[in-house]
Structure 1
Amino acid sequence: MSDWSAIEALPQTRLTELFEADPERLGRFSLDLAGIHFDWSKTHLTPELVTAFAALATSRDLAARRDALFAGEHVNVTEDRPVTHTHERGEGAAEIVAVARGYHDRMRQLVDAIEAGAFGPVSHILHVGIGGSALGPHLLVDALGREAGRYDVAIVSNVDGMALEDVFGDFDPAATLLLVASKTFTTTETLMNADSVIAWMTEAGVEDPYGRVVALTAQPDKAVEWGVDETRVLPFNEGVGGRYSFWSSIGFPAALALGWDRFEEMLEGAAEVDRHFRLAALHENAPALAAFADLYYTQVRHAETRAPFAYDERLRLLPSYLQQLEMESNGKGVTVDGQPLGRPSAAITWGGVGTDAQHAVFQLLHQGTHLVPVEFIAVIEPGDTLPEEHHRALLNNAFAQGAALMKGKQADDPARSYSGDRPSSTLLLDQLDARTLGALIAFYEHRVFVNGVILQINSFDQFGVELGKEMAKAAEKGGGDFDPSTTDLMKRAFG
């Protein structure tokens, strides 16, 4: 059988018993790729489950869908366009890769021009965007830019004016470069923030504030219409989705902050995972194995959430990044054919940073009634220069938490008992650098893709974000047909 019933019919065995029954379990369910060690041995995956999931993936044409993705075919069926983020990394149809390289060359030339003083003195980079136009660049700069020392970088997404005012208090408007990131260049929040930055520069006496703007967009004509000189517009391919976009010109703040060489290293790390995803058999394919575990817990064990925990302060923004990547991609209720999905879609992604989270949410993970698959992300090489015991304690906590979730502990006092048999996976990076971070994010992207293919949904549209935005625009114009509660809230807020 190759449908869900073959998977649901397999026995459910405790994790400790799986280890006892198979001395080779660790080797079967771990692999090394691009400087990252992946360990799924403390999940409930078995050879039989992997075989059944591989059969289901075959029946869903995973290989053909994967080939279509890289070939630049219109796999985003609801918007009738290709999905080209892998082409930004040099992997895919040659003609699309060539266009992406041309856009990257333009990025590099602008990086060189800024460094050479073409924009005058620049010590601050203020990037405004929202969603994928902010989360990805913010993750990159926060994770890798702490020691770069090239520019002060602030990334603002929230339309709440306090977010901008915090930056205004720290930045010199005469030495600030404004990056405006919007795929359509119509995003309300982004353009409102950009207008406010221009006003701040103007009030401070900056002679030509629009001359200190770089636009990052798939609609260059709209950026020029807004006021950006065409030589300072960095386009990217329309097939690059927002949450998949920091490989394109949306990643420009990272290219500035980290330097072009590191930006290219990030692309190559991702490309290494692209090649692995294309070529490796499913039973030793990192994105596929991770997706099989995801689907097992959502579809068979009825887990509604999953929780990644970054045991490295430099990756503190990773859980937030993954929330959008996973939930916006696969939080759908219909199939690619427009039919009701009829089963759970993506899990709710949440998480945090270790060891802080241990003292906040791990109580529920160990003893609560919810089954929550946990993912630990850690780095062998420390990012700090403090005594070694800091990093040893950090890593030992991560490893011990996974062991405790699996093993549990029985006690005469029920309040002090741990049921165990709670799953976790571990992603252990040799070091956190541009290559491994690029590889890590590409792994998550392809994992999302496999989940979507097997669930038969389109992972590349996001119409669910539109309705609330439409209603907010109507409210701004004084219109809209709102319920009594919403109408009352508006009256209380605005009079």
Structure 2
Amino acid sequence: MLSNLKQGLRGTERLTQQGAFQGVPSVPSVSRGAHQPLPRTTQPSPRTTRVATRVARAPSESRVDADRDLTNPLHTFEASTLDMPTGKDVESISDTEEWKALQEHVKDINTTHLRDLLRDERRCMSLIKESEGIYCDLSRQRVTAKTLELLLKLAEKAQLREKIESMFAGEHINSTEDRAALHVATRARRDQSIIVDGRDVVPDVWEVLEKIKDFSNKVRSGEWKGVTGKPLKNVVAIGIGGSFLGPLFVHTALRTEPIAAMESEGRTLRFLANVDPIDVARALKDMNPEETLVVVVSKTFTTAETMLNARTVRKWLIAQLGPDAVAKHMVAVSTNLKLVKEFGIDPENAFGFWDWVGGRYSVCSAVGMLPLALEYGFDLMEEFLLGANSIDDHFRNMPLENNLPVLLGLMSVWNVSFLGYSARAILPYCQALSKLAPHIQQVSMESNGKGVDINGNPLPFESGEIDFGEPGTNGQHSFYQLIHQGRVVPCDFIGIVRSQQSVYLKGEIVSNHDELMSNFFAQADALAYGKTPEQLRSENVPDYLIPHKTFTGNRPSISIMLPACTARTVGQILALYEHRVAVQGFIWGINSFDQWGVELGKVLASKVRSTMHQSRTKSRTVAITDGFNYSTTRMMNKYLEGKTQMLYPEGLEEFPVQLISKPFSQRL
């Protein structure tokens, strides 16, 4: 019976992908039409060098063929060339005529209002795109047909198409670290071929995926048991940053999806990220160590916060199960097998990934796939990979004017660099997507929060976005006041046609989900249209209240609608935002795949850590001569004096167990 129900639900999902929008006014679907390659210069300019790239082509085909079936291509890569500027005195994208034309065009846009733009049905139709089952409405952006034309010319000038192809071809586009940025390979189909440094990495990717499949099946079936012979029903994944936010987003999105809920019945997945011992206590609360498997995620196995948490949980396991527990209750996602072994984990139980997978882009690698497959089963997570891969194909092959990540990225460039809107709100009207905004916050802000271009020159324009968000309708009762009547914050509204859960109470006008979606549709129009003093007067609003009740409107937003929130569509929305971020970086001319801004704080923290240890062990205060300024010195001493326990020089062996099992009052 359970098998029949699963088949029925999966059949429903297939129908969803084929035609989810029954009852929604039809919009011409975007077809995979052919596009012409951008013109290439025949001679390198004095300050450019020819860099080899590989352009994706099927055998005996042009780059994109109108009749090509992208669901089953055999991708290979052949050499091409791309003019890449070098040196410190190269032209900034902001020096180009295309950029200046957009700056001039802002004057025209500032004389228009979205109330007027939304009256133009032809314009609206041209800004509504539907592809890969995703309905994307850009009509509430402050753009006209002319704006889009100019933005596409800017993309051409920035060699966007060539840069996309370079990414997929495995070129070292992460120039400061001399690495490829090839997270798309982690969700490549078996029939694809992706070359990095002369090696096809797809077989390597699938070798790891098959290992994850085999291991997760053994754990879920009970074949792999803990040290006391009990099956492992609980998983604690230890990681931080991209090793945590992305997998948490996917886990949260799938918890109440019907198939996922059945697959995870009786199982628990938790994440431990913060080095704060409170996070340890919460992650292990009510966990039975006999039934708990710990996944330690650290590429180098040296990440300070992750390894301290791993040592803490290891102590918890050993204290209650003995020293043999580590071999059966801990596994690793890492490439440093030497340190994995020294930690006590069998290297055979380590799952690898590659330096061309950045942390914030690693959800589809073992970083996310291992804990998620343990919770939901590998088959369901393969659907997630296929969803992400479908957007990868779309991004690589679709003409720019109909390419969803490209259009979304261009809207962000327009809003940030030309209209001066520095923030973006991500507002999913789906509680299952509640962790989307925190994840994209890292993907976007760590990728594009840069002050220099890829050649090290200071940026002469604003780039990057301040991302935040909450699910609707929670956000409406939190920060929507500001986005309606305070600062202008472009918004991404994300709606779902069919909810994961259906509730329709007798006597109610609409279902619970319809009530949610009523707000989804209303909020975008409220931001666009606003409310004028004249409208308020016609409603007999007292004059003294009119300034307070006036809404200026003209506040841009994008509306995205998914047919359902399933493993496949979660993969799609993930890839959609990842590629949108890449487009922004490609246009701005920055490196979206390094993150040097996180390094300085780590270095200074190491110095603080050493000084704090000396202060504890030698019972002395911190002094200015330790190398800190007056404010930091005083604050550190205030902290050290305020501690009620001295854990050094001899650490409390029972500390982890006490931390988790005893009330705070008993630990004083």
Using structure 2 for the length normalisation, give the TM-score.
0.72
Q: Which residue number in structure 2 is paired with residue 100 of structure 1?
A: 205
Q: 1:401 aligns with which of 523, 536, 545?
A: 523
Higher mean Cα deviation, 22-31 or 313-322?
A: 22-31
Structure 2 segments unaligned to the other structure (5+ residues): 1-95, 505-509, 538-545, 613-625, 642-668
1:54 aligns with 2:152: yes
Q: How does 1:448-467 map to 2 (within 5 A)?
A: 448-467=581-600
What is the CA distance between 1:360 and its match in structure 2?
1.3
Give CA deviations for 1:355-395 in whole Å, capped at 9, x if unaligned.
Answer: 11111111111111x11101111211112232262111100
What is the CA distance between 1:323 and its match in structure 2?
0.6
1:430 aligns with 2:546: no
Q: Which residue number in structure 1 is paired with residue 491 of structure 2?
A: 374
Q: 2:216 aligns with which of 102, 111, 116?
A: 111
Q: Structure 1: how far apart are the matches of 2:382 and 2:400?
A: 28
On the 8 A contact 2:220/2:233 being kept in 1, the answer is no
Q: Which residue number in structure 1 is paired with residue 138 of structure 2?
A: 40
Q: 1:484 aligns with which of 612, 630, 637?
A: 630
Q: Structure 1: how far apart are the matches of 2:457 and 2:123?
A: 39
Residues 187 and 378 (structure 1), Cα distance of their counterparts in 2 relative to 1, 3 Å cut: same
Higher relative contact order (CA 8 A, sep 6+): 1
* Counterpart secondary structure, 2:295: strand
What is the CA distance between 1:222 and its match in structure 2?
2.7
Q: Structure 1: how far apart are the matches of 2:531 and 2:491?
A: 18
Paired AA for residue 172 in structure 1: N
Q: How does 1:441-452 map to 2 (within 5 A)?
A: 441-452=574-585
Q: How does 1:37-436 map to 2 (within 5 A)?
A: 37-90=135-188, 93-94=194-195, 95-116=200-221, 117-120=223-226, 121-146=231-256, 147=261, 148-149=264-265, 151-211=267-327, 212-251=329-368, 252-368=370-486, 370-387=487-504, 389-411=511-533, 412=537, 413-436=546-569
Residues 225 and 206 (structure 1), Cα distance of their counterparts in 2 relative to 1, 3 Å cut: closer
What is the CA distance between 1:414 and its match in structure 2?
1.1
Q: Which residue number in structure 2 is paired with residue 6 of structure 1?
A: 101
What is the CA distance between 1:155 and its match in structure 2?
0.5
On the 8 A contact 1:150/1:257 being kept in 2, the answer is no
Paired AA for residue 119 in structure 1: K
Q: Structure 2: how far apart are the matches of 1:199 and 1:128?
A: 14
Tell which structure's C-alpha radius of gyration is larger: 2
Q: 2:602 aligns with which of 446, 456, 469?
A: 469
Q: Structure 1: how far apart are the matches of 2:180 and 2:335?
A: 14
What is the CA distance between 1:331 and its match in structure 2?
0.2
Give CA deviations for 1:416-462 in whole Å, capped at 9, x if unaligned.
Answer: 11111111111111100011010111010110000001100000001
* Counterpart secondary structure, 1:342: coil
On the 8 A contact 1:44/1:293 being kept in 2, the answer is no
Higher mean Cα deviation, 125-134 or 61-70?
A: 61-70
* Counterpart secondary structure, 1:9: helix
* Counterpart secondary structure, 2:515: helix
Q: Structure 2: how far apart are the matches of 1:54 and 1:92?
A: 30
* Counterpart secondary structure, 1:215: strand
On the 8 A contact 2:422/2:466 being kept in 1, the answer is yes
Count of aligned pairs: 493
What is the CA distance between 1:18 and its match in structure 2?
1.5
What is the CA distance between 1:214 and its match in structure 2?
1.1
Misfit runs of 4+, over 4 Å: none
Structure 1 segments unaligned to the other structure (5+ residues): none
Give CA deviations for 1:101-149 in whole Å, capped at 9, x if unaligned.
Answer: 1111111121122224223310110011000000011111111034232
Give CA deviations for 1:307-343 in whole Å, capped at 9, x if unaligned.
Answer: 1111111111111011101000000011110111121
Q: Structure 2: how far apart are the matches of 1:33 and 1:406?
A: 25
Paired AA for residue 252 in structure 2: D
Q: Structure 1: how far apart are the matches of 2:173 and 2:385?
A: 22
Q: Structure 2: how far apart are the matches of 1:59 and 1:169?
A: 55
* Counterpart secondary structure, 1:191: helix
Q: CA RMSD in A?
A: 1.5
Q: Structure 2: how far apart are the matches of 1:92 and 1:481?
A: 53
Q: Structure 2: how far apart are the matches of 1:377 and 1:78?
A: 35
Q: Structure 2: how far apart are the matches of 1:351 and 1:118?
A: 40
On the 8 A contact 1:34/1:269 being kept in 2, the answer is no
Q: Structure 1: how far apart are the matches of 2:322 and 2:384?
A: 35
Higher mean Cα deviation, 198-207 or 319-328?
A: 198-207
Q: Structure 2: how far apart are the matches of 1:285 and 1:350?
A: 25
* Counterpart secondary structure, 1:82: coil
Q: Structure 2: how far apart are the matches of 1:278 and 1:191?
A: 38
